[in-house]
Amino acid sequence: MIEAIGRALLFDIDGTLANTDPLHLKAFNLVLGPRGHVFDHARFSRELQGFANVSIGERFLPDEAPERRALILDEKEEVFRTLVAGQIEPLPGLMALLDRADAAGIPMVAVTNAPRLNAELLLSGLGITHRFKALVIGAELLHGKPHPLPYQEGLRFAGASAMASAFEDSRTGVQSAAAAGIPTIGIRTSLNHADLVAAGAIASASGFDDPDLLTRLAAAMAW
């Protein structure tokens, strides 16, 4: 397959490739609830969704030592992985879009603030690990989302520039991709159109089978 010069698709994972946010919410409540922090969907989308665990620990476990915060949030991730096992379903239209990008020779990169174990589990569970040229983990960089660095790294791996497009479902993710100069489409799994556009998305879609999204991508990717 010959890669299309200067074109690329960059994807967040949680809430973008699969609607895993309800299971993250449940896992956070199971682990942080006994420590005095209970979240509904609205609070989750404002204060947890898309944030790296280091910043979540600093905010919600300020009296714990950094090492203890990390252990508590590792427990949350273990709970999440248990909950999600066998329940990973792609968003509507995802597989067809990946097929189309592969056929057009467009490289794809996954860019996430999730821990590597989570990201690899989800990509493997969807059967799409091989689709991505690289997996960028925010926690393994100097800065995670909402800093542009994760998406700048994604562009570097993809070898793309102006013809890239990104897909995100969180405020921090949209901010990261937009700050890296990538036109970003918000996926409405947890946030509404207004929230995603306010964060910097150029448009939003309910899934990857959204006709407006497909029309926009056809123009942007020239396929």
Catalytic residues: 12, 14
How far is residue 76 CA from its own chain's centroid? 18
Both tokens assigned to 97: 């879009």
Three-class secondary structure of residue 193 per DSSP:
helix
Three-class secondary structure of residue 128 per DSSP:
coil
**How many angstroms separate the CA atoms of 37 and 60, rounded?**
7
Both tokens assigned to 100: 């189309």
Cβ burial, residue 3 (10 Å; 0-12/13-18/19+):
middle
**How many angstroms separate the CA atoms of 223 and 221, rounded?**
6
